Structure 1
Amino acid sequence: MRPSAGKWLRTLGLTLAAFAGGVVTSHLARATSQAQSPYAPFEQLARVLVLVENQYVEPAQRSKIVEGAVKGMVAELDPHSAFMNAEEFSAFQEETGGRFGGIGVEVDFRDEAPMVIAPIEGSPAERAGIRSGDQIVAIDGKPTRGERLDRLITMMRGAAGSKVKILVRRPGVAEPISFELKREEIHVTSVVAKRLDKDVAYIRLKQFQEGTHEELLRSASKLRAASKTPLRGVILDMRNNPGGLVDEAEGVADEFLGEGTIYSTRHRNQVVDEARATSGGAFASLPVVVLVNEYSASSSELVAGALQDNRRATLIGNTTFGKGSVQTIFELPGGAGMRLTTMRYYTPSGRSIQAQGVRPDVLIQPAKGGTPAEVMRERDLEGHLDAEETALGGGSQSVITIAGTVLEMSRDVPSDPSKGKDFVLSVGYQTLLKAVPVTR
């Protein structure tokens, strides 16, 4: 079982109580030196706090100073642990829930400004006429160039019913176009599904949020109802999937497995939990191809590793990001919260993904002389947890080289991917058809 927030908070309370008692004991028993005292760092923190409050050039707000100290303490642990104040924790909860107040656009950072990848169907942005390819140059009169993407996303989000002005540049249009939009509650779907030629199901998992498992089951029903002929195979596309909720990933993996281990977790080298598949999965009897790339991280790596180790899928693409740790969310007083790395997870065969990633069975890479795009992986992040001495797995690996330098996934999935522009998807589709010869 994973440690509950309540248990950890009780432990924290006991620790603070022990600290208070320790100060008294240290004061009375002077034989204990400062160097030996486990509370010496806290005494240093108190001295710094007093100096800042008394000596800083402007009066300093104690709550702001303490919040900064707590954030720094947690952030120093690893790149994925973080303290969140009430506002940040509320936004985090909205994001993992897949619902938030906003205008409904999916954006990416291009040429130092956000570009609209696609407006969400039925959203205020779509109804107003914002299109894919529009470059957002100002939000409420503030230029976007040079701002961090997360900051710009926060500016576009807000309470349902509030208004925001968006200025965009559109290819082929000389003057910028202005939109005034009223924010609404936006629901972001995490599953995209389509029935392809030859009775192949294409399922793209964008992230693992609350309800992803249920979305997958609804998609499975629609895919089967779309034709009288049964499905013959599944392409599971988890490229660019940053991960998310482990419980949702477990449920998704279970739909592709009839038995066996999905993953295990360890806390300080002790096994904490082992998740096992149950019979009757929606896709447990179908051949599967999984598409991954260097941006497939965390929970998506967990699913990919589970299917690979159980010999349920052929993995195609590039070695994944390499985030093999689990973060537990703790609610704190005052509406704050903390995301803390509490466990490492392992694939069914005992492989650690941390700082290594999952190696695909079919590696697709640029031809010799091509320059691959710069990629930041887990092992490149400052303060990351070290890799363990375990094999990357995947058995023998075949390699496909292409003339291009960047492998981009297409959002428009043709009924016959072998004729499309998405090379990795094309390879995945043809690989699946070879595994299951189909006649119509």
Structure 2
Amino acid sequence: MNRKLLVICMTGSLIVGAGGTYIGMNKWGEHSETAANSSETVLSKVGKAYDLILNNYVEKVDRDKLEEGAIKGMLSTLEDPYSVYMDKDSAKQFEQALDSSFEGIGAEISAEDGKVIIVSPIKNSPAEKAGIKANDEIVKVDGESVEGSDLYDVTQTIRGEKGTKVKLEIVRQGLEKPLQIAVVRDEVPQITVHSSIKREGGENIGYIEITSFSEDTASEFHKALAAQEQEGIAGLILDVRGNPGGLLTSVNAILEEFVTSDKPYVQIEHRNGKTEQFYSDLKQKKDYPVVVLVDNGSASASEIMAGALKEAENYTLIGEKTFGKGTVQQAVPMEDGSKIKLTLFKWLTPDGNWIHKQGVEPNLEVEKTALYNTHPLQIENTLKREMNNEQVKYAQEILTSIGYRTDRQDGYYSSQTEIAVKAFQGSNNLPETGAIDSNTAEKMQQVVREEMQKDENDIQLQTALHYIVN
């Protein structure tokens, strides 16, 4: 019998189980009586330790902190970054992340091997505009190391009121020194579906970008797709690059437009090794080709979509290997408003593959161009001729990526670099000094962002368009 799955599946987020919410109930194959007897024995020991510390420690102990510490201690032994304790404030912030908007920097973060990692910045968010990228590692927040910190404590520190600033120290693969990036917090709108019609080879090609899977995503998607199909499209590009995941109820509803009932769109594996398969009711696939764009910022629910479309319907994935999160969590509310989010099971692709820490491989691997791999400039002192440092190197990379030729990209401020800077300044109504001050640096980064938004510079998108019409 076909079953449908209603789940929230986000990198570090809530889970609701199939057919309802299972909280403190024996739904996962465990014998409740044995578990209860074991719990009584253990809790007696924990209770004695709690009373001992609370009543006899040399200094007065905060009862709430002691309780939270005990819970965090148990969860830490799991060595699972997705099983965490959230106090009342963290739980409330977590819920707000799926609202229509929230205030913060707009980036999904996760823990991986003890490191705090950026899964992906949200489209047009302060984080994205500041130059934060997927797989950046956060090592300090406002000068304080995050080593050994709870993921949700780090999240709470980074989030804040609109207009305030947070300083992040970022380690990025391929760079010798950490980046210091200041981000001004702002309201982050959760507009999750962006659609347009592309013209290629005389054909209309539908394009729908999904930036996350929130409560309204599926309905927004259905409206966008219906409008495009009414206009007439020869193919469709689904773009989940940089999409950190979200509600599986949303991705489920979208998949039911594309995955037929011949194969499951996802499988769930329980701790006892048993698997459940979940199907749509669709009998016939689309009469036009579908291509999916993915990258290393595509995570969780995005990977469920990518895996389902690749394996169940043989649709083509173009881009880069995805993030790799293949577990499912459920958030269990406590009486005081806090929550424990616990990993309950694995999710598998239609063919039974577990992509955790592996990711989903694209059919056509296409890397982003240098334009999308530039680094933000941090101008403390004006960069000038004869200087030699990493900031000059970043500036040279930016200039080259936007069409201003330099003779080198090793960090030495050569005469040709100066000429390129003057050419850039002249083209952008700036004083042609040949030196890079804060105004020139800001304009350079603005131009990079604008160039990144142009379809002609997006080689992954261009590959998808050519693939459909050819």
TM-score when scaled to structure 2?
A: 0.59
Q: Given the superposition, is the C-alpha separation of residues 188 and 165 from structure 1 closer, same or farther in structure 2, using an over 3 Å criterion?
A: same
Q: Given the superposition, is the C-alpha separation of residues 318 and 166 from structure 1 closer, same or farther in structure 2, using an over 3 Å criterion?
A: closer
Q: Deviations over 1:245-294 (max 9, x none)?
A: 2221111222223443211212121234523242478xx33211111122
Q: Hey, what's the Cα distance between the residues in 2 that align with 1:289 and 1:20? A: 47
Q: Deviations over 1:305-352 (max 9, x none)?
A: 111112341111222222111112322212222222112112222222
1:263 aligns with 2:296: no
**How many residue pairs align between the two structures?**
333
Conservation of the 8 A alpha-carbon contact between 1:194 and 1:203: yes
Query: Which of these residues, 240, 243, 249, is aligned with residue 242 of structure 2?
Result: 240
Conservation of the 8 A alpha-carbon contact between 2:267 and 2:350: yes
1:425 aligns with 2:465: no
Q: Given the superposition, is the C-alpha separation of residues 56 and 275 from structure 1 closer, same or farther in structure 2, using an over 3 Å criterion?
A: farther
Counterpart for residue 361 of structure 2: 359
Q: Hey, what's the Cα distance between the residues in 2 that align with 1:118 and 1:307? A: 23
Q: Hey, what's the Cα distance between the residues in 2 that align with 1:218 and 1:150? A: 34
Q: Given the superposition, is the C-alpha separation of residues 68 and 285 from structure 1 closer, same or farther in structure 2, using an over 3 Å criterion?
A: farther
Counterpart for residue 215 of structure 2: 210
Kindly indicate whether structure 1 or structure 2 has the higher relative contact order, using CA contacts under 8 Å at least 6 residues apart. Answer: 2
More displaced, 66-75 or 230-239? 66-75
Q: Given the superposition, is the C-alpha separation of residues 3 and 192 from structure 1 closer, same or farther in structure 2, using an over 3 Å criterion?
A: closer
Q: Hey, what's the Cα distance between the residues in 2 that align with 1:332 and 1:218? A: 38
Counterpart for residue 171 of structure 2: none
Q: Hey, what's the Cα distance between the residues in 2 that align with 1:131 and 1:359? A: 25
**Residue type matched to 1:274 in 2?**
F
Conservation of the 8 A alpha-carbon contact between 1:328 and 1:340: yes
Query: Which of these residues, 347, 368, 389, is aligned with residue 345 of structure 1?
Result: 347
Counterpart for residue 83 of structure 1: 85
Conservation of the 8 A alpha-carbon contact between 1:5 and 1:330: no
Q: Given the superposition, is the C-alpha separation of residues 108 and 325 from structure 1 closer, same or farther in structure 2, using an over 3 Å criterion?
A: closer
Q: Hey, what's the Cα distance between the residues in 1 that align with 2:451 and 2:269? A: 37
Counterpart for residue 438 of structure 1: none
Deviation at 1:156, TM superposition (A): 2.2
1:52 aligns with 2:67: no
Conservation of the 8 A alpha-carbon contact between 1:305 and 1:358: yes
Q: Given the superposition, is the C-alpha separation of residues 83 and 272 from structure 1 closer, same or farther in structure 2, using an over 3 Å criterion?
A: farther
5+ residue gaps, structure 2, are 6-16, 110-117, 133-140, 147-153, 168-183, 375-408, 410-447
Q: Given the superposition, is the C-alpha separation of residues 411 and 89 from structure 1 closer, same or farther in structure 2, using an over 3 Å criterion?
A: farther
Q: Deviations over 1:193-218 (max 9, x none)?
A: 22111311222211112121112112
Conservation of the 8 A alpha-carbon contact between 1:117 and 1:132: no
Q: Hey, what's the Cα distance between the residues in 2 that align with 1:20 and 1:327? A: 20
Conservation of the 8 A alpha-carbon contact between 2:213 and 2:246: yes
Deviation at 1:117, TM superposition (A): 8.2
Q: Hey, what's the Cα distance between the residues in 2 that align with 1:297 and 1:203? A: 17
Conservation of the 8 A alpha-carbon contact between 1:250 and 1:275: no
Deviation at 1:431, TM superposition (A): 1.8
1:220 aligns with 2:222: no
Q: Given the superposition, is the C-alpha separation of residues 205 and 84 from structure 1 closer, same or farther in structure 2, using an over 3 Å criterion?
A: same
Counterpart for residue 198 of structure 2: 196
Q: Hey, what's the Cα distance between the residues in 2 that align with 1:167 and 1:7? A: 38
- Aligned pairs (5 A) from 1:61-80: 61-77=62-78, 78-80=80-82
**Residue type matched to 1:70 in 2?**
I
Alignment RMSD (CA, Å) = 4.4
SS at 1:96's partner residue? Answer: coil
Conservation of the 8 A alpha-carbon contact between 1:294 and 1:319: yes
Counterpart for residue 380 of structure 2: none
Query: Which of these residues, 24, 46, 53, is aligned with residue 9 of structure 1?
Result: 24
Q: Hey, what's the Cα distance between the residues in 1 that align with 2:253 and 2:20? A: 22
**Residue type matched to 2:211 in 1?**
K
Q: Hey, what's the Cα distance between the residues in 1 that align with 2:449 and 2:289? A: 22
5+ residue gaps, structure 1, are 23-36, 136-142, 158-163, 169-178, 374-403, 435-440
Q: Hey, what's the Cα distance between the residues in 1 that align with 2:350 and 2:290? A: 18
Q: Hey, what's the Cα distance between the residues in 1 that align with 2:273 and 2:36? A: 31
- Aligned pairs (5 A) from 1:304-315: 304-315=306-317
- Aligned pairs (5 A) from 1:67-216: 67-77=68-78, 78-100=80-102, 102=103, 106=106, 132-133=129-130, 144=142, 150-151=155-156, 153-156=158-161, 165=164, 187-198=189-200, 199-216=204-221
Q: Deviations over 1:361-381 (max 9, x none)?
A: 1123599xxxx99xxxxxxxx
Conservation of the 8 A alpha-carbon contact between 2:266 and 2:350: yes
SS at 1:291's partner residue? Answer: strand
Conservation of the 8 A alpha-carbon contact between 1:242 and 1:299: yes
Q: Deviations over 1:113-149 (max 9, x none)?
A: x9x98767xxxx9xxxx995599xxxxxxx9455877
Deviation at 1:52, TM superposition (A): 3.0
Q: Hey, what's the Cα distance between the residues in 1 that align with 2:159 and 2:235? A: 40
**Residue type matched to 1:424 in 2?**
Q
**Residue type matched to 1:263 in 2?**
V
Conservation of the 8 A alpha-carbon contact between 1:200 and 1:235: yes
Q: Deviations over 1:371-426 (max 9, x none)?
A: x99xxxxxxxxxxxxxxxxxxxxxxxxxxxxxx9xxx9988544xx3x32x22222
**Residue type matched to 1:270 in 2?**
K
Deviation at 1:302, TM superposition (A): 0.7
Q: Deviations over 1:155-198 (max 9, x none)?
A: 226xxxxxx55599xxxxxxxxxx9x9x87x6411112221113
Conservation of the 8 A alpha-carbon contact between 2:368 and 2:459: no
Deviation at 1:303, TM superposition (A): 0.7
